Amino acid sequence: MDTTQISGAERDDLIISFLSGNGAASDHDILLDWVNQSEENRAYFLKMQSIWLGAGQCTSAEMVNTEKALLKVQQATGGSTRETSKRSFSLVSRISGIAAAFVMIFLLGGLASYFLFGDRGDDLTVSSVIAPKGSKAKTVLPDGSEVWLNAGSNLSYNNTSYFRKNREVRLAGEAYFQVVTDRDKPFVVKAKGLDIKAVGTEFNVKAYPEEKIVETTLVEGIVKIEGRDQDKRIIDITLSPRQKAVCYTEGGSGISSEQPISSGETGEDPEGDDHPPAKISRAIISSNVKTDLYTSWRDNRWIIEGMDIGQLSVLIERRYNVSIEFASAELKDYRFTGTFQDETLEQVMQVLKLTAPLNYEIGKGRVELTMDHSMKDKYQEFLSD
């Protein structure tokens, strides 16, 4: 399709479809072509995007209905979107709050790797499920519990004792757990010296070895986090649905939360050697969190909200098994909000280019991000309007 021949109405419909997460991938390609034709087109897109986000009134049901979504924007602009196109192109929201709600085609790149390790004793046969970088994995444990593994993760368990004596697994990386109820055998995730216990529930645990946190997000049920901190005080956290606990392995001092997480006692843990010190320096508990932000990585719709590109780059590196290099550290501070669906690496970079003044070059196993200084000046003009 010749994008130079797109009418104003067609253009606005494409943008609304784009922002609401609807439409075919071919429509989004057409829109990308149109946006890249001129700075004026890009400015118009950014204007519409900021109005969309500024409205901030769309319910979940409306967000998947293009007509209702369009009505929201019309109400926010005081008229039709075509009327909006005749107005100035000045942005009314800060660049750090710009969101690109973008839906594209995604092909899951990789399958789980299953290994049986040969270190066998009377009761030691370890099964490991691995999701290499660039892939995700799903497995069903012997008790019927389901586990989704994010890229660069490893889950292991003793398949001789699991479900017979206990339901213990060890995690290095990130996993989403959908646990079958068994009150006689609590489900335990061991990660960085912490025990994350559940009876029957759904929750997400993020505990990458290279990161200095253990993050637990509860979707349904109840979860308890147990262990000892770096001062050998007992850690005892209980989470309710829509709560998130972030335990820091270093940095800061003391413990901050909305509920006590430690009895304050010192000395030996009554649980014995099963609880080596977790070296936790502090923990923060948040309530009423949007759980989708921490669990959507396992679905086709990957939701990002208010994350700076520096943090997002780490997730992209794992998801696509690439190394991202920043020629300008300033780019790391631009923030991104949006929803990807069925995306490729090239398409992700295209979306980031729409929301930050950057250029990118994709090579073999690497992506280089450089500052687009001409666009940076344009962004500064938008911000000052």
Tokens of 161: 């004792």
Quick check: 178 and 203 in contact, CB under 8 A?
Answer: no
Quick check: 24 and 73 in contact, CB under 8 A?
Answer: no
Q: CATH for 113-293?
A: 2.60.120.1440
Pairing verdict, β 187-191 and 194-198 = antiparallel
d(CA 337, CA 340): 10
d(CA 177, CA 190): 13
d(CA 218, CA 46): 35
SS3 content of the chain, % helix, strand, coil (to 5): 30, 30, 40
d(CA 290, CA 296): 10
d(CA 323, CA 321): 7
Task: Walk along the chain (385 residues) and give the pLDDT tens digit of each residue.
Answer: 555 677 777 888 887 777 655 556 677 678 777 887 887 887 787 767 656 544 443 333 333 344 444 454 445 444 444 444 333 232 223 222 323 222 222 222 223 333 333 344 444 578 899 999 999 999 999 999 999 999 999 999 998 899 889 999 999 999 999 999 998 999 999 999 999 999 889 999 999 999 999 999 999 999 999 988 878 888 899 999 999 999 998 643 333 333 333 333 333 333 334 445 567 788 899 999 999 999 999 988 899 999 999 999 999 999 999 999 999 999 999 999 888 988 899 999 999 998 889 999 999 999 999 999 888 777 666 555 5
Which CATH topology does 300-384 take? Answer: Phage tail protein beta-alpha-beta fold (3.55.50)
pLDDT of residue 20: 58
Classify residue 57 as exposed, middle or buried by CB count within 10 Å of its CB (0-12, 13-18, 19+): exposed
Quick check: 216 and 223 in contact, CB under 8 A?
Answer: yes
pLDDT of residue 121: 43
Which of 321, 320, 313 shows the shortest CA–CA distance to 369? 313
Residue type, 87: R
Q: Which residues lie below 8 Å from residue 55, measured CB to CB, with a gap of 6+? A: 72, 73, 75, 76
pLDDT of residue 189: 98
This prediction has a pTM of 0.65
For 381, phi and psi rounded to 5 degrees?
-65, -45
Q: Which residues lie below 8 Å from residue 273, measured CB to CB, with a gap of 6+? A: none
pLDDT of residue 271: 37
The strand pairing partners of 224, in sequence order, are 197, 238
Cα–Cα distances in angstroms (integers) from residue 1 to residues 27, 38, 55, 76, 168, in the given order: 10, 17, 31, 31, 56
Tokens of 151: 């890229």
Question: What are the sequence ranges of the domains in the chain?
Answer: 3-93, 113-293, 300-384
pLDDT of residue 276: 54
Quick check: 221 and 200 in contact, CB under 8 A?
Answer: yes
Classify residue 90 as exposed, middle or buried by CB count within 10 Å of its CB (0-12, 13-18, 19+): middle
pLDDT of residue 250: 65
d(CA 173, CA 171): 6
Q: What is the DSSP string of 188-219?
A: EEEETTEEEEESS-EEEEEE-TTSSEEEEEEE
CA 103 to chain centre: 15
pLDDT in tens, 230-253: 788 888 999 999 999 999 986 433
Q: What is the DSSP string of 114-131?
A: EEE-----SS--EEEEEE
Quick check: 152 and 318 in contact, CB under 8 A?
Answer: yes
The strand pairing partners of 217, in sequence order, are 204, 244
Residue 362 host element (H or E): strand 358-363
